[in-house]
Amino acid sequence: MNTAKDEVRKLLDRLPDEASLEDIQYEVYVLDDIRRGTEEIDRGDAVEHEEVKRRLAKWLDK
């Protein structure tokens, strides 16, 4: 398993040299969000797409 530092190093290597600090912060945020989402799915804590649509229907139909 890669460490967080390894993941950030890979991310930095993929970004263009002109990337701003804000660009880098955003990419790190997205990387972490994906990691947390994957862990949530692995734990079985995720909500299925159809359930989300059902829950949101009452708000979207108004």
pLDDT value for 1: 74
Q: What's the predicted TM-score (pTM) here?
A: 0.71
pLDDT value for 61: 76
User: Which are the contacts of 27, defined by CB distance < 8 A and separation ≥ 6?
Assistant: 11, 15, 19
pLDDT value for 13: 97
Residue by residue, pLDDT tens for the chain (62 residues) are 789 999 999 999 999 999 999 999 999 999 999 999 999 999 999 999 999 999 899 888 76
- Parse the chain into domains and list their residue ranges: 4-60
Residues 48, 41: Cα–Cα separation, whole Å: 10
Residues 24, 30: Cα–Cα separation, whole Å: 10
Asked if 36 and 46 count as a contact pair (C-beta separation under 8 A), the reply is no
Residues 28, 7: Cα–Cα separation, whole Å: 9
